[in-house]
Amino acid sequence: MCGSVSAQHSGRPKIGLTLSGGGAKGLAHIGILKAIDSAGLNVDYITGTSMGSVIGGLYASGYSADTIERIARTIDWDLLLSNQSSLQSIFMAEKDEYSKYIVELPWQNHRFNLPTGILEGQELWLKFAELFFPVCNVKDFSKLSIPFKCVATDVGTGEAVVMESGEIVSSIRSSMAIPSFFTAVNMQERRLIDGGVVRNFPVQDVKRMGADIVVGSNVSTGLLSSHNVRNAIQVLLQVAFFREAEDHKTEIPLCDIYVDHNLEKYNMGSFGQAIDILDAGIERGKELYPVLKRLSDSLDAIYGPQPLKTNRLPSTEKVRITSFEISSLKNTTIEFFINTLNLKTGQWYSAADISQMIRHAFGTRYYNRILYSLHEQPDGSYKIIFDVMENPLAFAKIGLHYDKFSGISAIVNLTVRNFLISNSRDLVTINIGDNFRVRGEHLQYIGRHKNITASLSAQYDRFSINTYNDFIADKPFSQSGLFKRQYARFDGNIAFSADRRFAIGVGFREEIVKYDPVLASNFEFKGSVNMPTAYGFIKYNSLDKRIFPNRGVKIDAEAGWVLKQNVDVSVLKNGNPYPEAVSAISNRPYLKTAFNLESYYRVLHRLTAMASTQAGANFNYTNNIMNEFSVGGVLPLYNNQVTFVGLPEGSIYTPTFAAFMGGFRYEFLSNTYATAKANVLFTNLINKSVFFNNPDFMSGYGLSFGYNFALGPLEVGAMYSDRSGKIYSTVSFGVSF
């Protein structure tokens, strides 16, 4: 690090600031900005690449260093750096399928295609649009509070592209499009990727702007040594940044004050350690402060005091939108798009309002990316121009799943929209593995705002379930046999959604359950039951994400009238016919209710509290069979299952129950979790099974460790129930069928 005042002219020397790229490591630049502000130094020009363009662009727009620090500390990096939007913005009917598969391949040009990068980053676009909303009318970056330029790379020519005008959001997003990670950005008839490929530290550009004294903050650690390149991703990044390494040799000597950072233990993807990187940058800024303060004082002594520019950020809270323009719509209509947005011309909108509208449209699953720009009109109102990239109408999706109950499986899905009827979704999902499952569904959206849905679906499951002895004091819940279970369901329902969190509806379904003993137990059924059911339901889902949610509530409640059943069942006791039990079987109609509530609350920065309530009752249940609630297991895997920490799947069958669970989940490392749960179960509340002998009360406890891989969540743990007196291991990977 060195410092000098080299300009020799009558006017006060111009101060330039250059911030390098470096992904997550670029957050350390904020500490340098804080030192600049503390030293009372006014910056006249800014250039940046990749994350340096983000931090530099915010500072140039008028944000103070302290404000940028607050933004960085509160951002949900996991959401921004994903292809997902918040689960809260997704249509209720789509939530079960959203963010479920590890691979989604679009069908385009008569084949399945891979994207130009892993991340499109819709939420990242929206966050940028919100942050740069106060300067939405500035199209010439030299007109910002501090003149600004950022650098991208033309993927076609390999040339550096210096962005100095246009849409600042698109410019910054293109500057940080790391090859093969972020998708490329189309701008000015070019296809642009991360500027760090050719000019990661654009000092020459700030010199060209007129800077006499340059402060350069560089978080790049350069190329890895040969023996540290250990995987394909590192090879890709190493090759991609060969030219950038050479460029550094010419850029660094142009700095008057050069700041490097000791960030070797982090990489460009270390956003899970964002706070640690930010704190390291602040410490580096404190070390730099005396140098900057001497520079500021010397300039003031020579040229006179210069007050620090404050309140540089324009005050633009809302704009009045009087017209709109939409490009690139093929699969959907302008009417569909605008109605989904619920955009009304002549109204005032804030950045948050527009973001929420776009999330609503994105939540229909018809769109891959929705960008917007605002253009001021002569009367002071604004025209909003949407740049829309639609999703292809067909996707092949693949997921992986494993748990001890259902075994290992590949989940293959084909989803097609507007196949036979517009505003519809058809899908087929097949579970291929130790157990076979298949489901098909047609979902039809109805109404101006598409808040009414009609659904027709069919499902077939075939898997094996262990049987357990009735509750006996000397051998509680000991495994006694095995049966093959086949389940078929045909369902039709219609639902109304008041918003993206709530739905109410009615339906009718036919269920067929068939049991076939494989290994004889002390008591078993053999045969099938058909159960026609008319039902009503209420659903609520405000969870922030599907996997390891941190906040929100999910409710599933249903009440149905099970009509007269078609029963063809024999009962065996110790392998022999049990005619007394067969004669007791009833097929009389009865009322069935089920309720499930789960809630999550972020208590501290890394600590989430969770609670759930499950309850169900088969009223007027007079010796009906094969529709009892099945208690056990930590994952919901099949119909009528009641999850209970402490018991394996199918440990208890009961016509009535109530279960309550509480627990905490702590994220001790990025995407790495420890979870503790305790639950209690009450059975035999309203009526009691004549076929199964169950305890009235049970409690259970569990401890697990989880990691959210790119291929899906992995969770390993152990659970214990005081009634069984046994410890069971639990292992699950991926999202289940």
- More confident position, 124 or 592: 592
For the chain, give the mean pLDDT: 88
Residue 724 clears pLDDT 70, i.e. is over it: yes
| Each residue's pLDDT tens digit, 41-91 | 999 999 999 999 999 999 999 999 999 999 999 888 877 877 677 788 888
**Local confidence band at 671 (pLDDT 50, 70, 90 cut-offs):** confident
pLDDT of residue 689: 76
The closest alpha carbon to 120, from 54, 170, 177, 78, belongs to 177
Cβ atoms of 37 and 296 within 8 Å: the answer is no
pLDDT of residue 1: 45
pLDDT of residue 545: 87
- More confident position, 474 or 176: 176
pLDDT of residue 118: 58
Strand 347-350 relative to strand 672-683, pairing:
unpaired
Separation of alpha carbons 542 and 523, rounded Å: 43
**Local confidence band at 669 (pLDDT 50, 70, 90 cut-offs):** confident
**Local confidence band at 246 (pLDDT 50, 70, 90 cut-offs):** low
pLDDT of residue 238: 55
- State percent of the chain over pLDDT 70: 90
| Residues 476, 480, 485: CA angle, nearest 5 degrees | 120
Give residue 212's Cα distance to chain centre: 45
Cβ atoms of 203 and 214 within 8 Å: the answer is yes
**Residue 460: beta bridge partners?**
438, 488
Least confident of 181-190, 194-203, 474-483, 726-735: 474-483
pLDDT of residue 587: 86
Separation of alpha carbons 608 and 599, rounded Å: 10
Give residue 672's Cα distance to chain centre: 16
pLDDT of residue 143: 95
| Each residue's pLDDT tens digit, 507-528 | 999 999 998 887 666 677 788 9
Q: How many helices (H) and strands (E) does the chain have?
A: 13, 37
H/E stretch holding 483 reads: strand 479-496
**What is the CB-side half-sphere exposure of residue 353 using CA atoms within 13 A?**
12
- More confident position, 447 or 19: 19
**Residue 257: beta bridge partners?**
215
- More confident position, 446 or 82: 446
Separation of alpha carbons 65 and 71, rounded Å: 10
Least confident of 78-87, 204-213, 310-319: 78-87
pLDDT of residue 81: 76
Separation of alpha carbons 168 and 138, rounded Å: 8
pLDDT of residue 694: 81
Residue 174 clears pLDDT 70, i.e. is over it: yes
**Local confidence band at 731 (pLDDT 50, 70, 90 cut-offs):** very high
Average the pLDDT over 706-720 and give the result.
92
pLDDT of residue 624: 79
The closest alpha carbon to 451, from 417, 415, 501, belongs to 501
Average the pLDDT over 291-310 and give the result.
90
Q: Which amino acid is at 383?
A: K
Average the pLDDT over 270-278 and give the result.
88
Residue 664 clears pLDDT 70, i.e. is over it: yes
**Local confidence band at 223 (pLDDT 50, 70, 90 cut-offs):** low
Average the pLDDT over 379-394 and give the result.
92
Residue 233 clears pLDDT 80, i.e. is over it: no
| Each residue's pLDDT tens digit, 597-622 | 999 999 988 899 999 999 999 988 77
Residue 4 clears pLDDT 50, i.e. is over it: no
pLDDT of residue 470: 58
Cβ atoms of 388 and 122 within 8 Å: the answer is no
pLDDT of residue 522: 67
Residue 473 clears pLDDT 50, i.e. is over it: no
pLDDT of residue 330: 87
Cβ atoms of 653 and 614 within 8 Å: the answer is no
Q: Which amino acid is at 120?
A: E
Q: Which of 59-63, 221-225, 667-671 has the highest mean pLDDT?
A: 59-63
Residue 589 clears pLDDT 60, i.e. is over it: yes
Average the pLDDT over 628-654 and give the result.
92
pLDDT of residue 5: 41
Residue 726 clears pLDDT 60, i.e. is over it: yes
Q: Which amino acid is at 457?
A: S
Least confident of 275-279, 449-453, 491-495: 449-453
- More confident position, 191 or 667: 667
Residue 474 clears pLDDT 60, i.e. is over it: no
DSSP 550-612: -SEEEEEEEEEEE---EEEEEEEETTEE-HHHHHH-----EEEEEEEEEEEEE-SSSEEEEEE
Separation of alpha carbons 158 and 239, rounded Å: 13
What six digits make up the tokens of 136? 């939405």
The closest alpha carbon to 569, from 613, 619, 521, 530, belongs to 530
Q: How far is CA 89 from CA 81, 94, 177, 450, 545, in A?
A: 17, 10, 25, 14, 10
**Residue 717: beta bridge partners?**
704, 730
pLDDT of residue 580: 67
- More confident position, 657 or 420: 657
